[in-house]
Structure 1
Amino acid sequence: MAKSDYFPHSDNDLLVWHDRFKANLATRLAELGLSAEDITGVESDNQELHDKISEGNAASAAARHATAAKTASVNNIQGKTRALVRRIKAHPAYSDALGNLLGIIGSEDTTKLAEAKPVLTGVDQTGGVVVLNFVKSRSDGINIYCQREGESEFVFLARDTIPPYVDNRPLLVAGKPELRRYTAVYILKDAEVGQYSDELVVNCAP
C-alpha cells in the first residue's frame, strides 16, 4: 500500500513536524553521517518557516480586518446615500433629468430569469469561512448548493435573499485545507428559475 507524503501541508502541522525533525536530527548527526553545517542549515530553515508563517498569519489577519472595515464602511455609506436619495426623489423639484444628472436612476433590467444564471464570486476568509457574493437581479434571491471535498454530490446549503452569504461551517478536518464547490440558481416566488451558475471552487485555508 502506498504511503502518504510525510511532509505536512498545513502551517501548524508543518511547524510541529519541522521542530521535531530539527530537534531529533541534532541528536543523530554522527549516527547519520551528517555535519554541523547540515544541522545549521536545518535550523536556518526552521527559523525561516516560523518567521514566514507568522508573517503570513499576520497579513491574513490584517486582510480580514481591512475587508471587514471596508464592508462596514460601504454598507454605512450606502444606507446614508439611499436615505438621502429618497429625500431628493420626494422633493417637488425632482425630475428624471436631475436623477440622470446625479446618477440615481437605475438602468432598465432586461434580465429574463427563465434563461438567466447567477454569477457567484467567493472569498476565503480562512478557517472554513467563505463569503459568497451574487447579483440578485429581478429574482427574490438564490438557492445555494455546495459540494465539499470527499462528498459525491452537491447538497442544498442555504437560501439567501440579500448578498453576501457567509458560509461559516468549520473545516471538515481542523487545520487541513479543504476544497469547496458552489453553485446557485435564482428563485422567484419560492420556485427555482433559470439555469444553475457555473461552479465556483474555493480553496479554504486553515
Structure 2
Amino acid sequence: MAKSDYFPHPDSDLLIWHDRFKVNLAARQAEFGLSSEDIASVDSDNQELHTKIGEVNAASAAARHATAAKTASRNNIESRVRALVRRIKAHPAYSDALGNLLGIIGSEDTTKLNDAKPVLTGVDQTGGVVVLNFVKSKSDGINIYCQREGEPEFVFLARDTIPPYIDNRPLLVAGKPELRRYTAVYILKDAEVGQYSDELVVNCAP
C-alpha cells in the first residue's frame, strides 16, 4: 500500500513536524554522519518557517479584524441610511423624481428564479465561525448545504431568509484547520427553486 507524503501541508502541522525533525536530527547527527553545516541549515530553516508562518498568521488576524470592523461599520451605516430614507419617502414632498435624484429607488428585479442560482461569499472568523453572505433577490431565502473535510457528501445546514448567515459550529478537531464546502439554492414558498450555487470553499483556521 502506498504511503502518504511525510511532509505536512497545513502550516500548524508543518511547524510541529519540523520542530521534531530538528531536535531529533541534532541528537542523531553523529549516527547519520551529518556535518555541523547540515544541522545549522536545518536550524536556519526552522527559524525561517516560524518567522514566515508567524507573519502570515498575524496578517490574517489583522485582515479578519479589519473585515469584521468594516462589516460592522457598513451594517450600522446601512441601518441609519434606510431609516432616513423611510422618513424621506414618507414626507409629502417626496416624489419618484427626487427618489431617482437621491438614488434611493432600486432597479427592477428581472431575475427569473427558475433559472437563477445564489452567489455565496464567505469570511472565516476563526475557530469554526464562518460568515456567509448572499443576495436574496425575489426569493424567500436560501437553503444552505455544507460538506466538511472528511465528510462523504453535502448535508443540509440551515435555511436563512435574511443575510448574513453565521455558521458557528466548532471545528471537528479543536486547534486543527478544516476545509468547508458550501452550496445553496433559492427557496420560494418553502420549495427549492433554480440551480444550486457554485461551491464556496472556506479554509477555517483555529
TM-score, normalisation: structure 2: 0.91
CA shift, 1:57, in A, is 1.4
Note the 1:1-206 alignment, pairs <5 A: 1-206=1-206
Shift of 1:176: 4.0
> How many residues are aligned here?
206
Q: Say if 1:132 and 1:167, in contact at 8 Å, map to a contact too.
A: yes
CA offsets per residue over residues 141-197 of structure 1, 9 Å max, x none?
100111223323221100111111122223333444433222211112222222222
| Residue type at the aligned position of 2:36 | A
Counterparts of 1:3 and 1:66, CA distance in 2? 42
In structure 2, what residue type is equivalent to 1:142? Answer: I
Change (3 A) 1:97 1:15: same
The DSSP-based 3-state class of the residue aligned with 1:32 is coil
Letter in 1 for 2:140: D
Q: Amino acid of the residue matched to residue 57 of structure 2?
A: N
Letter in 2 for 1:77: I
Gaps of at least 5 residues in structure 1 are: none
Counterpart of 2:87, as a letter, is: R
Q: Is the 8 A contact 1:129 1:168 kept in 2?
A: yes
Contact 1:10–1:175 (CA under 8 A) maintained in structure 2: no
**Sequence identity (%):** 88
Report SS of the residue matched to 1:69: helix
Give secondary structure in 2 for the equivalent of 1:166: strand
Q: In angstroms, what is the RMSD of aligned CA positions?
A: 1.8
- Mapped contact 1:12–1:175 kept (Cα < 8 A): no
- Change over 3 Å in CA distance of 1:30–1:37 after alignment to 2: same
Gapped runs of 5+ residues in structure 2?
none
Query: Equivalent residue of 1:98, what SS?
Result: helix
